[in-house]
Amino acid sequence: MTLKIGVLVSGSGSNLQAIIDNIEEGKIKAEIAVVISNVSGVYALERAKRHNINTEVINHRDFKSREDFDRKLVEILKSYNVELVVMAGFLRVITKVLLDAFPMRVMNIHPALLPAFPGLHVQKQALDYGVKFAGCTVHFADEGVDSGPIIIQGIVPVLDNDTDETLSQRILKVEHRIYPMAIKLYSEGRIKVSGRKVYIDPPLKIEEGSFLTNPPVDI
């Protein structure tokens, strides 16, 4: 069975593109049934159209409350028989209305190593804090902001001369690897959730003694 995905976007859609490419290359057995943007004219919509994917624009400003907006999202997602909702640069806080309609079936990507730096402008926050590693997180959405069970994380070093832009680009490259991977695992039924913990079944091996340091340790 091919998993039907609904992708929610607000901007450039480079994560959407990575998901489309992996599906087209046959690496993920899924189909993007619809791409929904809360902002009209964004590049993500162009990307979808170029690949003959259905698009919808729902302007959140047309709704009285977050719940009303989410009810419309649910109506559209259900009309396309969506099974998994993928937030890819969707810059809206979602409510119980969407979560209850898709329990443990809403994923989000965030450009930080959660639980550090939830919220907005997080690459700058990481730089200002002086962390030596930054990264990105794919997680199931819950009612909090960037707070649900973590599926996969990727890390990148922070360099002395990094700017917000260079660090964001380095993180984005990893986002384009981990989001398709999370969706692939989900489509294969390999993601198990127990409380806050997410397990991959059967597990993927990671070298137990592996580690990275920044700066490199040379003694």
Q: Which residues bind ligand GAR (CB under 6 A)?
A: 11-15, 44, 88-89, 109-111, 146, 172, 175
- Residue number, 117 or 219, with CB nearest to ligand GAR: 117
Number of Cβ within 10 Å of residue 63's Cβ equals 16
Alpha helices in 80-217 (DSSP H): 96-101, 122-129, 164-187
Nearest to 19 by CA among 79, 85, 74: 85
Cis peptide before 103 (omega within 30 of 0): no
Question: What is the nearest approach in angstroms of ligand GAR to the Cβ of residue 44?
Answer: 6
Burial class (CB in 10 A: 0-12, 13-18, 19+), 102: buried
Q: Which residue is nearest to ligand GAR (CB)?
A: 89
CB of 53 to ligand GAR, least distance (A): 15
3-state class of 146 per DSSP?
Answer: coil
Nearer to ligand GAR, 119 or 189 (CB): 119
Q: Is 110 considered catalytic here?
A: yes
Q: How far is the CB of 193 from ligand GAR (least distance, A)?
A: 21
Closer CB to ligand GAR, residue 30 or residue 172? Answer: 172
Give CA–CA dist 151/193, Å, rounded.
9
Active-site hit among 60, 110, 121, 139: 110
Q: Which is nearer to ligand GAR, 82 or 136 (CB)?
A: 136
For the annotated catalytic residues, the residue numbers are: 110
